[in-house]
Amino acid sequence: MRPAAPHTDTLNIFERWGLRWMRRHSRADQPALSHWPKEILHKIRKIERSTIIQASILGAVSGMLFGVTEMGLEEWFGEDQGWLYWVIFSALGLVISGAEIIILYWRIFRTVGRVATQAGLDIDRDDVERMMVLGLSRAALDMPNPRAAFHGVDPYSRLPRWKLLMYTIFYRLKVGATSMVLRVILRRVLARAALRSLIPFAAIGVFAFWNALITYWILRQARIRIAGPVAIRDLEAITKEDGESLDQSQKEVLYMAVAESVVRSQDAHPNYVLLLGQLLERWKLDKGEVRGEWREGVLNESKLGKTGKKTLLRMLIATTILRGSSRRAQRVFLEETARDLGRGIDKGALKSLQSGVYDGQGLEASQIDAVTSQAS
């Protein structure tokens, strides 16, 4: 398979640090990459659950330390909370937050490394799996996927730049903003002096909740990156025979359809990089020659035939679920394409298939085909 240049060319200092941590917590005697048996899935869930609980406790401890710091400084300075008060409080807050972040990310990296090992993803290899591991390091660092085109596809071509900026700002501010708003509300509600002493500790629950939520989100993103190669390998086996029977122009149409779904996802997800690279290599396509964009009527012009249409639907269904959660635009595109082919989409079956991929069960032809039904 082709490497994914935008994801592997240059690593920043945080990615290198993260990759080093994950390698340190991987095992040399790990199993081969395959479907996850029940006992492996149980171990993975147990590891993730333990990490989320520990992250919540860490957040509570951090919130408590902030409360103790605030109470101590208020007793020291009294009502005269001038610039020196805020300088000392901010400095101590940075120390507490810095220690919390280091411990939290150390724990997350250790967990991601252990989960990858349990699933059979070799962190020391330098081929396709390396690209997936780099995606893991970004997930563990809670960094967005690279804002770059890959294999001739730009997932962000239709996404306004201001939205990207707003998403980033909102995420970075949500913990601090929530804590601040809660403190202001409590200062209004808890008017009695005896109760006002509880205000410095108001952030404990907020910190614990957000740490748990963020850790859950990070581990979920990491797990879908670990499970992705299993599903992509299954899709290759499922579509190999039928795909090889298509002519070159029909293969390009299928690639364009998958690329359209990727663009609608607005995400340069490592699973998509791996999937498109595999298609280019397997079908001997040149990304510079696949210039067309999906448009209305392209299915009728392509004359795919029964085999081509079946392969197209299978690939679109897989693409829709490969990033762990599909966007509405992707589901609409899948439904429109299925309708053009005289088929319908079973949303329940699609969700079940997505859950199976997330749990490392890969893909089966019968499960993919169960998502579509004859249109009434």
Residue 171: per-residue pLDDT: 54
Read off the pLDDT of residues 254-287 as tens digits, 9 standing for 90 and up. 998 999 999 999 888 889 988 998 898 888 887 6
Residue 201 or residue 338, greater confidence: 338
Instruction: Count helices and strands (H / E) in the chain.
Output: 15, 2
Sorting pLDDT into bands at 50, 70 and 90, what band is 319?
very high
Sorting pLDDT into bands at 50, 70 and 90, what band is 5?
very low
Instruction: Spell out the domain ranges in the chain.
Output: 5-223, 226-374
Q: What are phi and psi of 27, to 5 degrees?
A: -115, 150
Q: In b/e form, how buried is each residue of 322-357, taking b as 16+ CB within 10 angstroms?
A: bbbebeeebbebbbebbeebebebeeebbeebbebb
Q: Which residue has the tokens 């392209």?
A: 298
The model's pTM is 0.79
Lowest mean pLDDT, pick from 51-65, 158-172, 276-290, 361-375: 158-172
Read off the pLDDT of residues 216-226 as tens digits, 9 standing for 90 and up. 988 998 899 88
